[in-house]
Amino acid sequence: MSEALHVVCPHCDAVNRVPAEKLAAGEGGRCGRCHKPLFDGHPVALTAENFDTHVSRSDVPVLVDFWAAWCGPCQMMAPVFEEAARRLEPRVRLAKLDTDAAPQVAGRHGIRGIPTLILFRRGQEVARVSGAMDLGRLLAWVEQHL
């Protein structure tokens, strides 16, 4: 029997079990609760309410972009992060957290400047970088820390 990995649904926050070989083959599957795709090539919008579920309950590494709407570099990096989601899923879940909407989560993770990217694995911070990046640099940074 193959190993099953936990994947949190980006639509309803349900925790799903997905065979590891399905993810390795680039297939994400569908949510058992809402039946929507578990990976759709777009970053997940995180909130204070669902942050811990997505970061702690997922066996897939989660890359979180801590950002704010008023931040120019954050706006410049948004399309880069969107493209990175298309390229990295389902090996890595990409997610965004608006620091103005969830300041307590940002504070808990010591966010001092934005954009800041943190790569989590099973709830633990693996790597962190601040500042806007182009796509090549972002992909290389993620690969280096996987």
- Which sequence spans correspond to the domains of the chain? 41-145
Q: What is the per-residue pLDDT for 26?
A: 75
Amino acid, res. 74: C
Is 0.85 topped by the overall pTM? yes
pLDDT band, residue 1 (cuts 50/70/90): very low
CATH (one of 3.10.105.10, 2.160.10.10, 3.40.30.10, 3.40.640.10) for 41-145:
3.40.30.10
Q: Looking at residues 82-109, what average pLDDT do you find?
A: 97
Pairing of strands 4-8, 15-19: antiparallel
Burial annotation 65-77 (CB, 10 A radius, 16+ → b, else e): bbbbeebeebeeb
Separation CA 91–CA 18 (nearest Å): 12
Mean pLDDT of the 12-34 span: 89
Is 71 part of the annotated catalytic residue set? yes
| Contacts for 17 with CB less than 8 Å, ≥ 6 apart | 4, 5, 6, 7
